[in-house]
């Protein structure tokens, strides 16, 4: 997907949600967006797979893309297209009913997953069952959840990925992957113990902010430390803020930074220097 389109879509949604929570107002977004029409027309292939872009990555398909699309489709109650994408998911991404590959390239299917993509697909399926009344969606969501807990819960903390080939799980979690509703769902269906739910919640809510008000990138489990980046990706920052807000964590500094950027520049840039708070790229969203 074009980086500007992806950045604009995600930031628009997250600013609106965070802003509403902290009484920041954003322009009205129409139900049928230009980005939605672009994806359906230019990125979704005849077989239902969503290519990454229209140029150099046409034969590359991500679990991130289908997860975002499925989550959106259930939100707007598009049962027909959701069903089609569920069939695509089962045909191409869930063939082993184990690891969901984070990327498929032509005939090369990755044996590595991505925690946030699995979470998003799991929740899309759970919500779809509630809305459309198809128990197969809930069954699949529960099965995905069990696999995640079995393979990616290390010392009570979820980690970013698992490689099925080597049976290796990494030892850190990206904070923008910590999706509260996924943790709440896993706990509600008895897959995740309450103590581990709280442990993960505290990691996100207690995360310190940088001197320029940016959140850490990740949490390193062996040393119990947070890792900051020299250059921050604002999509990651707004996801962390969005999820912290859902868990009633403090996001006031991120909201204040957003207000200042909009007042001074009329836009949010895609990346910033973490120490200076200055944009490092030209693209952004007005």
Which pLDDT belongs to residue 16? 42
**Packing angle, helices 115-132 and 79-88, rounded to 10:** 140
Task: Find out whether 63 and 101 touch, Cβ atoms under 8 Å.
Answer: yes
Which band of pLDDT confidence, cut at 50, 70 and 90, is reported for residue 8?
A: very low
Average pLDDT of the residues in 70-82: 94
SS3 80: helix
Question: Which pLDDT tens digit goes with each residue over 232-253?
Answer: 999 999 999 999 999 999 999 9
Question: Which pLDDT tens digit goes with each residue over 180-216?
Answer: 999 999 999 999 999 999 999 999 999 998 877 899 9
Task: Give CA–CA dist 175/108, Å, rounded.
Answer: 29
Q: Residue written as tokens 């868990």?
A: 247
Does the pTM of the predicted model rise above 0.85?
yes
Flag whether pLDDT at 30 surpasses 80: no
């Amino acid at each position: 997907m074009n980086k500007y389109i992806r950045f604009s879509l995600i930031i628009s949604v997250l600013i609106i949600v965070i802003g509403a929570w902290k009484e920041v107002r954003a322009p009205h977004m129409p139900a049928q967006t230009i980005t939605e029409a672009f994806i359906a027309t230019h990125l979704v292939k005849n077989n239902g797979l969503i290519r990454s872009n229209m140029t150099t990555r046409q034969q590359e398909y991500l679990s991130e893309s289908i997860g975002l699309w499925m989550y959106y489709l259930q939100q707007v109650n598009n049962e027909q297209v959701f069903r089609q994408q569920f069939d695509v998911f089962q045909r191409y991404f869930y063939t082993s009913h184990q690891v969901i590959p984070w990327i498929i390239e032509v005939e090369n299917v990755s044996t590595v997953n991505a925690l946030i993509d699995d979470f998003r697909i799991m929740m899309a399926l759970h919500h779809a069952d509630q809305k459309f009344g198809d128990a197969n969606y809930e069954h699949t969501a529960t099965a995905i959840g069990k696999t995640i807990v079995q393979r990616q819960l290390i010392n009570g903390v979820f980690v970013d990925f698992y490689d099925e080939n080597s049976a290796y799980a990494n030892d850190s979690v990206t904070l923008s992957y910590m999706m509260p509703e996924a943790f709440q769902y896993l706990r509600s269906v008895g897959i995740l113990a309450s103590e581990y739910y709280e442990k993960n919640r505290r990691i996100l809510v207690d995360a310190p902010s940088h001197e320029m008000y940016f959140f850490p990138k990740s949490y390193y489990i062996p040393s119990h430390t947070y890792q900051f980046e020299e250059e921050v990706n604002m999509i990651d920052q707004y996801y962390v803020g969005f999820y912290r807000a859902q868990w009633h964590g403090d996001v006031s500094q991120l909201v204040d930074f957003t207000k200042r950027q909009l007042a001074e520049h009329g836009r949010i840039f895609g990346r910033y220097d973490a120490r200076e708070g200055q944009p490092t790229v030209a693209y952004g969203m007005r």
